[in-house]
Structure 1
Amino acid sequence: MKNEISRRSFIKGTIAAGVAGPLIVPNLSFAAPPSSRLQHAAIGVGGQGAYDLGQINSSGKVDIVALCDIDENNLKAAAERYKGARLYRDWREMLEQEERHIDSVSVSTPDHTHAPASMTAIRKGKHVFCEKPLTHDVYEARKLTEAARRKGVATQMGIQIHSHDFYRTAVIWAKEGAIGKVKEWHAWSSATYTNESKRRPAGSDPIPAHVDWDLWLGTAPERPFLKEEYHPFNWRIHRDFGGGATGDFGCHIFDSVFGALDMGAPNTISARAESNSDDVHPAWVEVDYEFPGTAMTTGKTIRGSWSDGGKKPDTHRSPHFPADYELPPSGSMLIGEEGTMVIPHYLMPELYPKKKFENYPVPELKTRNHYHEFVEASMGNGVAGANFDFSGPMTEAVLLANVANRFPGETLEWNAKRLRFKNNSAATKLLKRRYRSGWKVRGLW
């Protein structure tokens, strides 16, 4: 099902209007050395994509030379801000035509397009900033991480709080042993992405002239357009396109835990969920992990958990809280031998018991911009903190929860090396989806 406006007619129209077009070449730098300005292209320029692009541009070291979006309204708005940028509706066309003209790419699309667009860019040797979750599938996360490492490109996942003083303080406190070795950890979010029926809605609506629905679907199975059901936001509740609350917030909130404890791949994972649907994510999940222990933890293994939809861990698991203590709506906690650290989502971490830690020193940290760090890494200056070697394995752990909630009550035994479950072949099949005909991507077959 295609929009009545073709890509060719759109590009011709924008050239005629003087907005942009492949023949307009502003400040191009072919085979640019690390010291020159970064030539950047953006895939997805509305909503979060507009913010991401603005932050990358604010580094003062970037030329925005190409823009891509399936929504003509988003594209026109971005073109007004980034004068002279060449415009595309299809990211495949953009990466093919711009291959010799760009150094880096940002991918700020629905989850199901993250891996296909990022992999294509990486295989062309481009540095990639990709929004969270890094991918839609566990398999994609593994392959994308391996490809980025093999190509030697700079990468950064869009977990912006990774660079904030709050999360960095939490990691430093844990690493310096403020609460001793950690016995268990828990992470949670108040968010919920679902619908009442737990089914894909029936019916269809006319496709707006400004939306290329076929390109929006991309690798996902074909289905009719429904107004406000998918584009621009509610796609998150549908398994074909998004990761639910777990995918949307898990990478943010696991971030400081994985950084503090050097977590790797889990041994086992089990889940409870409000519902079990092929189409729609549940209103809440409670997920239990067992991970191998690390130098930061007690014992040979450590328990971790994730919950969303308003579910939270029991505060009585920690002996360090006051009797009336309430956890923040979203965040994580590390229960250590000598104390407990609570890391609210996007707030300063707290150490308990309060009296014991009232004078505990706060590190003096230089402010970082998550996006500028990506720009600097792309120009050969250091390595971005949320590069795919860090964020890829963490994304795998998060997305495994969306597999486990399809098998409620069953403990799945994970073989990370072989990328499969030891005891459930049906669960293994959910690690990798089948791309729609015509949308195969090299490196992800």
Structure 2
Amino acid sequence: MSGHISRRQAIKTLGIAGAAAALPAVSYSRVLGANDRLRVASVGTGGKGWSDLVGVAASPAVQVTALCDIDSSEKHLGRAATKYPNAKTYADWRKLLDNADSVDGVIVSTPDFMHAPVSLPAMQLGKHVFCQKPLTHTVFESRQMNKAAKRNKVVTQMGNQIQSHTAYRTAVALVHAGKIGKVKEVHSWQAGTPSWPRNIERPAGSDPVPKTVAWDLWQGVAPQRPYKSGLYHAFNWRGWQDYGTGQLGDFGCHILDPVFKSLELTAPLELTADAPPLKSDTWTESATVRYVFPGTKYTSGDTLNVTWYDAAGVRPPAEVTAHLPKSYSLPNAGSVLIGEKGTLIIPHVAMPKLFLSGADTEAPIEEVASVDHYVQWADAARGEGEPTSAFDYSGPLTETVLLGTVGIRFPRQTLKWNAQEMTIPNFSEAEPWLTKSYAKGWEPAWI
């Protein structure tokens, strides 16, 4: 393909999400100097998209030049357009990319199922990408995102922003400093009850589509469904298999992040999930996933067991923390790292608790200061520093989380994982769930 064709032609020719064989990134990348402002576009401006946008734009080195949302109401595109009146506005992200000469970086804060379809062509056009967690909707998409970032030499960051909070940074530092010695096992959990629907059937009928909502654009690559008020847009999509990744997908990239970061984990060797049978369209109300990882320099054996629990009120069994002071109760969400010299509790968004072996009280810890996850990406895109959750890190983390959602479909079946080949050699029946089909006309070119 010639380097002189338009972005519109490239996107039409290569497929809506791909551009995997498209123009070299250098054709469209703007070389930024230390004094240049990063020109940013935001796709998805309501809910988390709003805080992502405001977080990135907090940097004085950022200029918001484009905004995109399928909902023009005051809670979505309207509010963003009011705050950034000089930015161009769009309902269709494809048109934004077709007119992206004034954009250096793209924030992708859509529902999970549209993360890869928007991010991949943006990267192919040489745009730096900040994408919400989980990075993608499928394992295959996550691998493609990682490859695209490397191939196009763009700066990336996943929106697991708690990684940059003092709590998680302190936990990682404690493990790296050897405070609990080599880690023998890990238990992570989310015992809260999400507000989005779970374990229900899709309701019949439809409701009038609000005048502010472009429903066809919201559905994007997913199967076409009738609009139902409050059921999908703007938030409850998380509970639907077509759009979200359930409780594990929602929280796994947060809660398992300090586990991955501190122990330097990569891909699991195998996993076994236990969960009730899935309804046809929604995720379950509970799941337990047992991963086995290769050992690292921070673990005590050749392998490491990491167990994930998500169910209302469910935490690791009592025997896991029986050695801790009786006065201590596990938080509602977090991780327990059991080491040779002690135990580290990493609550979800709270300071870690260090209990050394044989001690009756919590040990003092040295706190590590927070950094700004959003500004870090913007600075790195301008050549200052490095992001800590670039796709070469957050991609494998996301793959592990999404492998758990595959396992949930096959309860009590151990799935051996060949990460290099992206295969499940002992149970090929699960392999189709590593990817998915796409709505006609929206098929990515890299399928």
TM-score, normalized by length of structure 1?
A: 0.90
Cα deviation, 1:104-139, whole Å, max 9, x if unaligned, reads 000001000001101111111110000010001010
In 2, are the aligned partners of 1:191 and 1:245 still within 8 Å (CA)?
Answer: no
More displaced stretch, 83-92 vs 185-194: 185-194
Q: Is 1:309–2:311 an aligned residue pair?
A: yes
Displacement of 1:93 in angstroms is: 1.1
Alignment of 1:226-241 (within 5 A): 226-241=228-243
The 1:34/1:274 distance shift into structure 2, 3 A limit, reads farther
Alignment-mate amino acid for residue 171 of structure 1:
V
More displaced stretch, 393-402 vs 267-276: 267-276
In 2, are the aligned partners of 1:315 and 1:325 still within 8 Å (CA)?
Answer: no
The equivalent of 2:419 in structure 1 is: 416
Displacement of 1:358 in angstroms is: 4.8
Three-state SS of the structure 2 residue aligned to 1:72 is: coil
Q: For 1:108 and 1:215, how far apart are their aligned partners in 2?
A: 15
The equivalent of 1:26 in structure 2 is: none
Q: For 2:245 and 2:60, how far apart are their aligned partners in 1?
A: 34
The equivalent of 2:80 in structure 1 is: 78
Alignment-mate amino acid for residue 261 of structure 1:
L
1:299 counterpart (277, 296, 301): 301
Three-state SS of the structure 2 residue aligned to 1:64 is: strand
In 2, are the aligned partners of 1:192 and 1:308 still within 8 Å (CA)?
Answer: no
Displacement of 1:324 in angstroms is: 5.1
In 2, are the aligned partners of 1:164 and 1:368 still within 8 Å (CA)?
Answer: yes
Alignment-mate amino acid for residue 139 of structure 1:
F
Gaps of 5+ in 2: 1-27
Q: Is 1:436–2:436 an aligned residue pair?
A: no
In 2, are the aligned partners of 1:236 and 1:244 still within 8 Å (CA)?
Answer: yes
Alignment of 1:49-88 (within 5 A): 49-73=49-73, 74-88=76-90
Q: For 1:142 and 1:244, how far apart are their aligned partners in 2?
A: 20
Gaps of 5+ in 1: 1-28
Q: For 1:339 and 1:30, how far apart are their aligned partners in 2?
A: 49
In 2, are the aligned partners of 1:30 and 1:101 still within 8 Å (CA)?
Answer: no
Q: For 2:179 and 2:30, how far apart are their aligned partners in 1?
A: 48
The equivalent of 2:33 in structure 1 is: 34
In 2, are the aligned partners of 1:268 and 1:413 still within 8 Å (CA)?
Answer: yes
In 1, are the aligned partners of 2:353 and 2:362 still within 8 Å (CA)?
Answer: no
In 2, are the aligned partners of 1:145 and 1:388 still within 8 Å (CA)?
Answer: yes
Displacement of 1:79 in angstroms is: 0.8
Q: Is 1:124–2:147 an aligned residue pair?
A: no
More displaced stretch, 253-262 vs 190-199: 190-199
Q: For 2:404 and 2:145, how far apart are their aligned partners in 1?
A: 19
Displacement of 1:361 in angstroms is: 4.1
Alignment of 1:26-425 (within 5 A): 31-35=30-34, 36-73=36-73, 74-98=76-100, 100-193=101-194, 195=197, 198-310=200-312, 311-318=314-321, 320-323=323-326, 325-353=328-356, 355=359, 358=362, 360-363=364-367, 365-425=368-428
Q: For 2:360 and 2:391, how far apart are their aligned partners in 1?
A: 37
In 1, are the aligned partners of 2:97 and 2:122 still within 8 Å (CA)?
Answer: yes
Alignment-mate amino acid for residue 245 of structure 1:
Q
Cα deviation, 1:290-331, whole Å, max 9, x if unaligned, reads 111111001111100111123211142245312454211000
Cα deviation, 1:336-374, whole Å, max 9, x if unaligned, reads 0110000000000001148477554404x3431110001
Alignment-mate amino acid for residue 378 of structure 2:
V
The 1:56/1:332 distance shift into structure 2, 3 A limit, reads same
In 2, are the aligned partners of 1:321 and 1:353 still within 8 Å (CA)?
Answer: no
Three-state SS of the structure 2 residue aligned to 1:341 is: strand
Q: For 1:188 and 1:332, how far apart are their aligned partners in 2?
A: 6
Q: For 2:178 and 2:205, how far apart are their aligned partners in 1?
A: 57
In 1, are the aligned partners of 2:187 and 2:335 still within 8 Å (CA)?
Answer: yes
In 1, are the aligned partners of 2:407 and 2:415 still within 8 Å (CA)?
Answer: yes
The 1:358/1:326 distance shift into structure 2, 3 A limit, reads closer
Cα deviation, 1:152-171, whole Å, max 9, x if unaligned, reads 11111111111111101100
In 2, are the aligned partners of 1:154 and 1:378 still within 8 Å (CA)?
Answer: yes
Three-state SS of the structure 2 residue aligned to 1:436 is: coil
In 2, are the aligned partners of 1:192 and 1:284 still within 8 Å (CA)?
Answer: no
Aligned positions, number: 414
Provide the identity percentage.
45
In 2, are the aligned partners of 1:205 and 1:227 still within 8 Å (CA)?
Answer: yes
Q: For 1:423 and 1:350, how far apart are their aligned partners in 2?
A: 40
In 2, are the aligned partners of 1:160 and 1:370 still within 8 Å (CA)?
Answer: yes
Displacement of 1:178 in angstroms is: 0.3
Displacement of 1:176 in angstroms is: 0.9
Q: For 2:399 and 2:29, how far apart are their aligned partners in 1?
A: 36
Displacement of 1:32 in angstroms is: 4.9
Q: For 1:30 and 1:262, how far apart are their aligned partners in 2?
A: 32
TM-score, normalized by length of structure 2?
A: 0.89
Q: For 1:192 and 1:431, how far apart are their aligned partners in 2?
A: 27
The 1:361/1:332 distance shift into structure 2, 3 A limit, reads closer
Q: For 1:348 and 1:34, how far apart are their aligned partners in 2?
A: 38
Q: For 1:30 and 1:82, how far apart are their aligned partners in 2?
A: 23
Three-state SS of the structure 2 residue aligned to 1:385 is: coil
Q: For 2:133 and 2:375, how far apart are their aligned partners in 1?
A: 17
Cα deviation, 1:76-116, whole Å, max 9, x if unaligned, reads 22111101211111111111111x22100000010000011
